[in-house]
Amino acid sequence: MKTRDKILLASLELFNERGERNVTTNHIAAHLAISPGNLYYHFRNKSDIIYEIFLEYEKLVDFYLDIPGSRALTLEDLTFYLESVFDGLWSYRFFHRDLEYLLDSDPRLRRDYREFTNRCLGAIRQIFEKMAEAGIIEHQPVELREAMSLNVWLVITNWMAFLKTAHALDDDNSLTLTELKQGIYQVLTLEVPYLTPAYRERVMALREKYRPVMMQAEA
Amino acid sequence: MKTRDKILLASLELFNERGERNVTTNHIAAHLAISPGNLYYHFRNKSDIIYEIFLEYEKLVDFYLDIPGSRALTLEDLTFYLESVFDGLWSYRFFHRDLEYLLDSDPRLRRDYREFTNRCLGAIRQIFEKMAEAGIIEHQPVELREAMSLNVWLVITNWMAFLKTAHALDDDNSLTLTELKQGIYQVLTLEVPYLTPAYRERVMALREKYRPVMMQAEA
DNA sequence: GTATTATTAGAGTATATACTCTAGGGAGTC
DNA sequence: GACTCCCTAGAGTATATACTCTAATAATAC
């Protein structure tokens, strides 16, 4: 593998593990057993590394959230979208942790991320529309659908932060992908009241699969 | 005012304005035109300052979210809770921005914040119960109410991050309390499908008051 | 083979950051 | 006046961080 790619991979790994704030360019170089000079030969600065990692993340999510216009949406599609989005969040989980700082330090990233958010919101809206067309949920006024899409986005992007801050994982940072995917339960909760009688049971069963085993230890 | 209190006040102000990560103890001292030695006479380290600020924040929210058990809940009560919570978020807005890092660097804070979250979730659950008792929303199974409370919490605590990252405020950090309170619109959106016929119109009118004027500039 | 280009090592640097240490001032008390 | 206690100044320091610079080595082109 090319050094450049190794740097990106190691950075992502370290960022995810320890948080971007706790990982310096020297750490990354040391982790790869290369010199700082080598790292700076491939990237102008830390921001550039982060930006490239974001581009990968963006590409991944854009790929998953490419909603086909031609055919009707099934429950399997819905499951796939949800699973994929949470997989993406997991693989690039450092990103949302320090998002505000990252956007403040890199105007390109700020601009791109804003557009990325808008595309995601658009995809969520589309999914809602196709769910309504497929008779999974009831039709809703545009205004309500818009606000609901935004709430879905808020729940999706911040479920992990909730787990990491409110959960009882003091010891090691033992967050797992399985726990993260319990966010799907929360997302589907938003749709519960809108389910059609025809689909209610099936969606509720799907939701049940992601139900947290035990929410949290008592204080 | 005592120097100690001045330090807390200036720290909060600078943290809110520039983000905790961008504010050093030297900055705080310089801002107050006192010496670093003086600052460290009053606080052992930066973490201690942050912890004390958190205690203030905690006290404020606990005070607002003290749900009286004796009388029925009114729409005015609900408005008060929502307004108060968003006021609190605004006054201590630096806190959620770097939350994960802060909790990682201070075990006291981690423990206290977790309990704080649980208390807030409890208060939200209570409010839902009292809204059901008052006939504002329909009764719901415990399991659904629990998941809904959590979603309310997610929307409340992350609405600001959404505004700061997705909104088109590149130039100056021109986020206003008014914009922040549009989060109330999002929270009430969660309750829309559960409103009783008796209250539906009134709650929808309340929600409309917080409606964003124009959501976001097109890309 | 030689010239050129791409890659790498590794020492080094300017700046920042959190924090320490010593000396002393001011106010009250005896 | 001397003693004490609280508070403050300000120089100073150890460490970290992002990044640079030079020289050398490997790869490729001709």
Over the stretch A94-110, which tens digit does the pLDDT of each residue have? 999 999 999 999 999 99
For residue B22, is pLDDT > 60? yes
Longest dimension (CA), chain B: 63
Q: Answer for B24: CB within 7 Å of strand D.
A: no
Question: Which phi and psi (to 5°) does residue B107 adopt?
Answer: -60, -35
Residue A195 in 3-state DSSP? strand
CA–CA gap between residue A99 and residue B101 (Å, rounded): 12
Cβ-based contacts of A21 with chain B (< 8 Å):
21, 101
For residue B218, is pLDDT > 50? no
Cβ-based contacts of B104 with chain A (< 8 Å):
19
Model confidence band, residue B217 (pLDDT cutoffs 50, 70, 90): very low
State pLDDT tens for residues A171-188: 556 789 999 999 999 999
For residue B216, is pLDDT > 60? no
- Answer for the pair A99, B158: CB distance below 8 angstroms, yes or no: no
Cβ-based contacts of B159 with chain A (< 8 Å):
154
CA–CA gap between residue A38 and residue A4 (Å, rounded): 9
- Provide mean pLDDT across the span B147-156: 98
- Provide mean pLDDT across the span B31-58: 97
For residue A43, is pLDDT > 80? yes
- Provide mean pLDDT across the span B131-141: 97
CA A69, A192, A213, A163 dihedral sign is positive
- Provide mean pLDDT across the span A102-121: 96
Contact flag B101-A194 (C-beta cutoff 8 Å): no
- CA B133 from centroid of its chain's CA atoms: 26
* Per-residue confidence (pLDDT) for residue A217, from 0 to 100: 42
- Answer for the pair B102, B85: CB distance below 8 angstroms, yes or no: no
Contact flag B189-A19 (C-beta cutoff 8 Å): no
* Per-residue confidence (pLDDT) for residue A35, from 0 to 100: 97
> How many CA atoms, within 13 angstroms, populate the side-chain half-sphere of residue A15?
26
- What integer best gives the mean pLDDT of chain B? 94
* Per-residue confidence (pLDDT) for residue B197, from 0 to 100: 98
State pLDDT tens for residues B163-185: 999 876 655 567 889 889 999 99
Q: Answer for A38: CB within 7 Å of strand C.
A: yes
- Answer for the pair A54, A109: CB distance below 8 angstroms, yes or no: yes
Q: Answer for A44: CB within 7 Å of strand C.
A: no
Closest protein CA to C1' of nucleotide C7, residue: A38
- What integer best gives the mean pLDDT of chain A? 94
- Provide mean pLDDT across the span A157-167: 93
CA–CA gap between residue B192 and residue B196 (Å, rounded): 9
pLDDT cut 90: percent of chain B above it? 87
Contact flag B158-A161 (C-beta cutoff 8 Å): yes
Picking from A21, A154, A193, the nearest residue to B193 by CB comes out as A193
- Provide mean pLDDT across the span A118-136: 97
* Per-residue confidence (pLDDT) for residue A218, from 0 to 100: 39
End-to-end Cα distance, chain A: 48
Among residues B104, B33, B91, B93, which one has the least CA distance to residue B63? B91
Higher-confidence residue of B179 and A218: namely: B179
Model confidence band, residue B219 (pLDDT cutoffs 50, 70, 90): very low
How many angstroms separate the CA of residue A189 from the nearest CA in chain B?
A: 7
Q: Answer for A45: CB within 7 Å of strand D.
A: yes
- Provide mean pLDDT across the span B85-99: 97
DSSP class of residue A137? B
Question: Which phi and psi (to 5°) does residue B216 adopt?
Answer: -160, 155
DSSP class of residue A20? G
Please state the pTM of the whole predicted model. 0.94
Using a 10 angstrom Cβ sphere, with 0-12 exposed, 13-18 middle and 19 or more buried, the burial of residue B119 is middle
State pLDDT tens for residues A61-89: 999 999 888 899 999 999 999 999 999 99
Q: Answer for B35: CB within 7 Å of strand D.
A: yes
Model confidence band, residue A216 (pLDDT cutoffs 50, 70, 90): very low
Residue B139 in 3-state DSSP? coil
Helices B142-166, A107-133: axis angle to 10 degrees equals 140
Cβ-based contacts of A20 with chain B (< 8 Å):
none
- Provide mean pLDDT across the span B68-72: 86
Higher-confidence residue of A219 and B139: namely: B139
DSSP class of residue A167? S
- CA geometry: angle at B117 spanning B132 and B179, to 5°? 75
Q: Mark A125-138 as b/e (b = at least 16 C-beta within 10 Å).
A: bebbbbbbebebbe
- Answer for the pair B179, B163: CB distance below 8 angstroms, yes or no: yes
